[in-house]
Amino acid sequence: MSANGDETERSASVIVVGGGPAGLSAALFAAKNGLETTVFDTDETWMHKAHLFNYLGIGSVGGTEFMATARQQVDDLGADRHQGEEVTSVEERGDGFVVETDADSYEADYVILATGANRDLAEELGCAFTEEGVVDVDVDMETSVEGVYATGAMVRPEEWQAAIAVGDGAAAALNVLSTEKGEYYHDFDVPDDAARVFGEHVAE
């Protein structure tokens, strides 16, 4: 259920591979708006080495603290987060995808890759790459393989910033939602929505 009261039937499923800023951002938008969302996070994000004071709206926060807050947001919105479960392969099957991990096998309608500079899964899926050796995506972060998205450092040779990665993840999830709805989807909340979701804990 979206915080703005708009519900998408839980027939569409999204698997997010990677639990850094890009992956968790994608998971947040997907889960918040009613998509069945699963996240695989091996906790190898560079954020644990970072301290943010170049992120708009945040004065200063440690990378690990930032990640803890982001994970809590995703969990609270209903995503199924598999901490420490590594994805070993992704392949197309029928109208969707099969994701294999070191523990089990999962199916999804869409896959959002957020594995940092590791682009092996994209290569395995047959995604096109640019001359610079990064995954080739459109403005919505979709790769040459329909239903597969790549984000963050996967698609940029050097511009590795948390703020950019978060935007990539949001763009990917919103495009999935637009595809499912058959029209452009906007995730926009107003103060009454926040009050309904958070009650007395809403930020002023």
* CB distance 141 to 149 below 8 Å: yes
- CATH of residue 36: 3.50.50.60
Interatomic CA distance for residues 159 and 180, integer angstroms: 30
Print the domain residue range for 91: 13-196
Q: How do residues 115-167 score in pLDDT, each as one tens digit? A: 999 999 999 999 999 999 999 999 999 999 999 999 999 999 887 888 999 99
The residues that bridge with 166 in the sheet, in sequence order, are none
* CB distance 179 to 109 below 8 Å: no
- Residue 180 is assigned to a structural domain of this protein: yes
- Residue 87 is assigned to a structural domain of this protein: yes
- Residue 201 is assigned to a structural domain of this protein: no
- Residue 47 is assigned to a structural domain of this protein: yes
- Residue 175 is assigned to a structural domain of this protein: yes
- Residue 117 is assigned to a structural domain of this protein: yes
Total structural domains within the chain: 1
Residues 6 or more apart whose Cβ sits within 8 Å of residue 204? none
- Residue 123 is assigned to a structural domain of this protein: yes
Q: What was the pLDDT predicted at 201?
A: 63
Q: How do residues 71-88 score in pLDDT, each as one tens digit? A: 999 999 999 999 999 999
Please say if the pLDDT value at position 200 is more than 70: no
